[in-house]
């Protein structure tokens, strides 16, 4: 099989698979409903991408593709997916295609409601920097390598294990890590217990499993006891702990890494949010379990540049700070806001937020409203539907009305830059998992 057609090729996970196929000499084509920086890059790499869903009626079926790979965003009744089914194409869901690719590797799978991308990216960089020429499928773009996929010569493969649509259950990891289990994806999991069951099933599929210390009771309840745990400021626990000492005068944090309360090593790094310190500890825990030299770990952490759209500074001056983040769940948003307040206690925060998915916004309406009320000024954008259709009698006004903040406004994307330029802003956060990032280039150029 030499030709693969990807449905949803512009997605961060699907584009990584497409790049893997290109590297392995497949002819790659794809469909997505709209252009993006990712589709532009893929087209530059020689991929033929269709954007009008009517393309299926104009293709020559003979020799079009040997098989179709589709993302979970394509439901069973999607007309394009149905077209390929009717015409007897071999069809694979993204998770099963990834499973086939990873079957001959020692997979390190990073799971959890939050932190997957940052942990995967940090760990991949530690491995690369330590002489392990690893492979990696990352759910974001690494700043060190400017890509979401790493292809190496070793048998180690780092994979971001997605819980949506139970995709991570198709993996058989050598090492698995679970950072958190918070309610999400109501279209996949009817109850929280249903989600916990999926995660425990994933854990049982891992030869070795590392979990956040907060999950130990949950896993013991489900009779999974052979775990290694980690915890930021965790006190005396069996597993990895990290203590962080902030020095705002010289903008450094001293991190002290321990295992089973025994000191291992320490290092100084630039100021980062507390939740990223915990992500760092998760990556370090796996690296130590792989017997990577401490000095190599320290060198890698000091040279780690981060992930695009993950607490990414676009402007950082005495007069103005502009941060972009992917936060789209109320717990992620709370961590983002709380840690920004911690790092910059004297600055007023202006948040521009684009909710992601109608179902998530409705399911967490009160939680979102409470978190969004913590900033000084809120600019709310309409809900980014992504794979969903709108929900009858529900919309962005339902969220706006519940936010208790006085300084709040609902704007269209086209009006945000002008509004911010006319406002007296000290610190601006652009947050969301949709297309809100398209605002950043113009905003950055006009504010500087």
Residue range 415-435: mean pLDDT, rounded: 93
Claim to verify: residue 192 and residue 246 sit in the same structural domain: yes
CB contact at 8 A, 167 and 72: yes
The mean pLDDT value for 293-300 works out to: 96
Q: Mean pLDDT, to the nearest integer, of 403-409?
A: 95
Instruction: Convert the pLDDT of each residue in 99-157 to its tens digit.
Output: 999 999 999 999 999 999 999 999 999 999 999 999 999 999 999 999 999 999 999 99
Together in a domain, 116 and 91: no
Q: What pLDDT is stored for residue 234 in this prediction?
A: 57
Query: Does position 389 have pLDDT exceeding 90, yes or no?
Result: no
Residue 420: the pLDDT is: 94
The verdict on 158 and 284 lying in the same domain is yes
- Full residue range of the structural domain in which residue 343 is found: 312-447
Cα maximum dimension of the chain: 67
Section 368-397 average pLDDT: 94
CATH number at residue 416: 3.90.190.20
My answer on whether 259 and 386 are in the same domain is: no
**Contacts of 272 by beta carbon, 8 Å cutoff, 6+ apart:** 253, 280, 311
Query: 433 φ, ψ to 5°?
Result: -105, 5
445 exposure class (CB count in 10 Å sphere: 0-12, 13-18, 19+): exposed
- Which of 248, 268, 303 is where one domain is finished? 303
The pLDDT value recorded for residue 1 is: 62
% of the chain exceeding 70 in pLDDT: 99
pLDDT of 186 higher than 90: no
Confidence of residue 221 (pLDDT cuts 50, 70, 90): confident
Judgement on whether residues 417 and 438 belong to the same structural domain of the protein: yes
- What is the CATH classification number for the domain harbouring 244? 3.40.1190.10
Q: Which of 303, 331, 366 is the last residue of a domain?
A: 303
Q: Answer yes or no: do 167 and 299 share one domain.
A: yes
Distance CA 292, CA 303 (A): 16
Whether the predicted pLDDT of 299 surpasses 70: yes
Residue-wise pLDDT for 69-107, tens only, equals 999 888 888 999 999 999 999 999 999 999 999 999 999
Same domain, 85 and 110: no
Q: What pLDDT score does 265 carry?
A: 95
Cβ atoms of 173 and 109 within 8 Å: the answer is yes
- State whether 443 and 328 are in the same domain: yes
235 has pLDDT over 70: no
The average confidence (pLDDT) of the chain is 93
- Work out the average pLDDT over 407-425: 93
The answer to whether residues 81 and 178 belong to one domain is no
The reply to whether 334 and 400 lie within a common domain is yes
The total of structural domains in the chain comes to: 3
Same domain, 343 and 440: yes
Partners of residue 316 on adjacent β-strands: 321
Q: Which of 75, 98, 121 is the last residue of a domain?
A: 98
163 plus 255 within the same structural domain: yes
Euclidean distance between CA atoms 448 and 444, whole angstroms = 6
> What is the average per-residue pLDDT within 391-416?
95
């Amino acid at each position: 099989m030499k030709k693969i057609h990807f449905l949803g090729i512009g997605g961060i996970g699907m584009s990584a698979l497409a790049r893997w196929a290109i590297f392995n000499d497949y002819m790659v084509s794809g469909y997505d409903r709209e252009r993006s920086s990712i589709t532009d890059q893929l087209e530059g790499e020689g991929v033929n991408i269709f954007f009008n869903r009517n393309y299926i009626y104009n293709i020559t079926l003979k020799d079009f593709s040997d098989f179709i790979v589709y993302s979970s965003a394509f439901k069973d009744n999607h007309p394009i997916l149905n077209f390929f089914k009717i015409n007897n194409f071999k069809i694979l869901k993204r998770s099963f295609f990834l499973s086939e690719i990873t079957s001959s590797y020692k997979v390190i799978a990073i799971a959890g409601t939050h932190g997957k991308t940052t942990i995967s990216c940090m760990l991949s960089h530690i491995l690369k920097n330590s002489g392990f020429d690893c492979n990696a499928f990352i759910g974001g773009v690494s700043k060190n390598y400017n890509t979401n996929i790493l292809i190496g010569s070793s048998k180690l493969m780092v994979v971001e294990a997605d819980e949506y649509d139970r995709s991570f259950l198709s993996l058989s990891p050598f090492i698995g890590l679970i950072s958190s289990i918070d309610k999400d994806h109501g279209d996949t999991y009817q109850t929280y217990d249903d989600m916990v069951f999926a995660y425990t099933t994933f854990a049982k599929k891992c030869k070795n499993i590392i979990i956040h210390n907060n999950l130990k009771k949950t896993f013991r309840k489900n009779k999974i006891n052979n775990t290694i745990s980690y915890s930021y400021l965790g006190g005396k626990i069996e597993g990895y702990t990290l203590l962080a000492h902030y020095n705002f005068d010289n903008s450094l944090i001293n991190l002290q890494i321990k295992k089973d309360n025994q000191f291992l090593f320490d290092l100084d790094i630039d100021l980062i949010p507390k939740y990223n310190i915990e992500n760092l500890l998760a990556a370090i825990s796996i690296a130590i379990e792989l017997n990577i030299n401490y000095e190599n770990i320290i060198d890698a952490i000091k040279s780690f540049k981060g992930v695009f759209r993950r607490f990414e500074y676009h402007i950082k001056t005495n007069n103005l700070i502009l941060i972009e983040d992917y936060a789209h769940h109320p717990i992620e948003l709370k961590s983002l806001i709380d840690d920004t307040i911690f790092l910059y206690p004297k600055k007023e925060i202006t948040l521009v937020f684009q909710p992601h998915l109608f179902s998530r916004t409705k399911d967490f309406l009160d939680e979102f409203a409470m978190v969004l009320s913590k900033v000084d000024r809120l600019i709310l954008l309409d809900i980014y539907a992504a794979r969903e259709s709108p929900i009858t009698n529900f919309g962005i006004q339902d969220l706006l009305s519940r936010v208790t903040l006085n300084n709040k406004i609902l704007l269209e994307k086209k009006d945000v830059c002008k509004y911010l330029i006319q406002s007296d802003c000290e610190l601006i956060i652009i947050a969301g998992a949709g297309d809100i990032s398209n605002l950043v280039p113009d905003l950055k150029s006009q504010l500087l």
